[in-house]
Chains A and B, each alone.
Chain A
Amino acid sequence: MSGFTALVARDLKLVWRRPGDVGLVLAFFIVATVLFPLGIGPESNLLARIAGGVLWCAALFASLLSLDRLFAADYEDGTLDLLLLAPWPLELAALAKCAAHWIVTGLPLAILAPVMGGAFGLELRSQGALALTLLVGTPALSLIGGLAAALTLGARRGGALLALLALPLCVPTLIFGASAVEVLVTGEGFATHLAILAALALVSLATLPWAIAAALRQAGE
């Protein structure tokens, strides 16, 4: 596990040295979500109803923004070779990279989203639910995005390809994340949705590190 924690700590330190990258992601999220109330107008009922979908979509796009550098930076500077040659499973390295990505994007987005939910007229309870669904759901986004980032490593126009690969795979998470907030607005419980989101995240956790590691080995050849 020492290699795993060392890799997470290294990636967090790199983000700390260059905080602008994360700042850009969060700024994009804020700007993208603010555009909706401005475009649709002050119809509070409509805004509250679409808030879940809009905030989840914006969170998905925002987390994709930073994913194209997830493995590309290591690939370009040669540190990917050092990870491939590390005497511990590459699957753990893939998981560590995704975990670091989640800590610097998924986690801040989950904290920021309820604040933005206020602009959509979401009640306090719905804002809490939104934060909770993002907390549970965004790890799946980081892992799915990690797979797309690994598969597009070294490809021309990798960024666009990454989005094309990752977005369809994120649809189940998006549907259950957005609808969890929506059902709460209509007065129903969201426990089922949250359980499904957790299941999706766990399935991603149990399968995707292996797929990411295989893609990284391929890229390293």
Chain B
Amino acid sequence: MVDRRGMAPAFLDVSGLSCRRGGRRVFEGLSFGLGAGELLTLTGPNGSGKTTLLRALALLVPSDAGAIQWRGADVTADREAWRKRLGWLGHQEGLKADLSVRENISIACRLRGESVHRNRIDEALAAFDLVRLSHRPARTLSAGQRRRAALARLVAGEAQVWLLDEPFNALDAPSQAALRDVMETHIEDGGLAIAATHVSLGLRGARTLELGK
């Protein structure tokens, strides 16, 4: 349970969330709240349910008990509105190998029903030093470059709540710094972020939820 005493009212309120996978209890009775401009880091050993929690929050995995509320309303009541708020970065980058980095980002925006803002995409590409690579097909990129492209897609979108699964995977030191910068900007702009990571984010105001205890 994350202590929120003295903080702004929670936008995202998770109470008593439980999840079972393949007959095994992954987590039970999980409760936390997150206000605008707050970041939650999920830590814990492998298999402790970090990815499952992120997928449950995205409604990709059904939960057995508990509720996920956004501003007091259950998110399952209007799934599409909830999904519109979500920015997702999973284990896999979600890039089409035969499309260029720029195409991948602009198509992802269209698939989310968002209009494609060239400037926004340019800024996102620049934030992760991808301008030079923006016309290269994703299949020609290294693992770290693919991760950066997926992060640029997240930044180019208009999502308010970022759900990030091991965002630092395969990133070199400058890219990790770039990710910290964009996360800081996102939070300063009133966004929310939940990140499952083994790496310390080193960001002010980041709270931690340890799973598997």
| Interface set of A (CB-CB < 8 Å, partner B) | 2-3, 6-7, 10, 13-14, 17-18, 76-79, 81-89, 220-221
In the complex, which residues of chain B have a beta carbon less than 8 angstroms from the beta carbon of A13? 99, 103
> Taking CB as reference atom, which chain B residue is nearest A86?
B111
B108 at the A/B interface (Cβ < 8 Å)? yes
Report A198 CB to chain B, min CB distance, Å: 31
B interface residue numbers (CB < 8 A to A): 55, 58, 60-62, 80-81, 83-84, 86, 88, 90-99, 103, 107-108, 110-113
Known: A6-B110, A14-B98, A85-B58. A77 touches B92 (CB 8 A): yes
Question: Closest A-chain residue to B55, C-beta based?
Answer: A221
A10 touches B96 (CB 8 A): yes
| B112 lies within 8 A of A78 (CB) | no
Max chain A C-beta neighbours (<10 A), residue from B80, B81, B94: B94
- Is B108 touching A87 in the complex (CB atoms < 8 A)? no
Complex Cα–Cα for A13 and B99 (A):
8
Cβ B81 vs Cβ A87 within 8 A: yes
Q: What number of A-B contacts does a CB cutoff of 8 Å give? A: 73
Q: A77 touches which one: B62, B84, B97 (CB < 8 A)? A: B97
Residue of A nearest to B150 (CB): A78
- Name the A residues within 8 Å of B55 (CB-CB): 221
> Do A85 and B83 touch (CB < 8 A)?
yes
CB distance from A80 to the nearest CB of B (A): 8
> What are 14 A-B pairs with beta-carbon distances under 8 A?
A2-B110, A2-B113, A3-B111, A7-B111, A18-B98, A76-B92, A77-B94, A81-B92, A85-B86, A86-B111, A86-B112, A87-B80, A87-B83, A87-B84
B90 touches A81 (CB 8 A): yes
Cα of A77 to Cα of B139 in the assembled complex, Å: 11
Q: Which residues of B contact A6 (CB under 8 A)?
A: 107, 110-111
Set A78, A87, A88: member contacting B94, Cβ < 8 A: A78
A2-B116 Cα distance, complex, nearest whole Å:
12
CB–CB A77/B96 < 8 A: yes
- B99 CB contacts on chain A under 8 angstroms: 10, 13-14, 17
Do A220 and B112 have beta carbons less than 8 Å apart?
no
Complex contact B60–A81 (CB within 8 A): yes
Kindly provide the distance from the CB of B103 to the nearest chain A CB, expressed in whole angstroms: 8
Taking a contact as CB atoms under 8 Å apart, the answer to whether A86 and B113 are in contact is: yes
Residues of A within 8 A of B83 (CB): 85-87
- Closest Cβ–Cβ distance, residue B30 to chain A (whole Å): 18
A83 to B88, CA, bound (A): 11
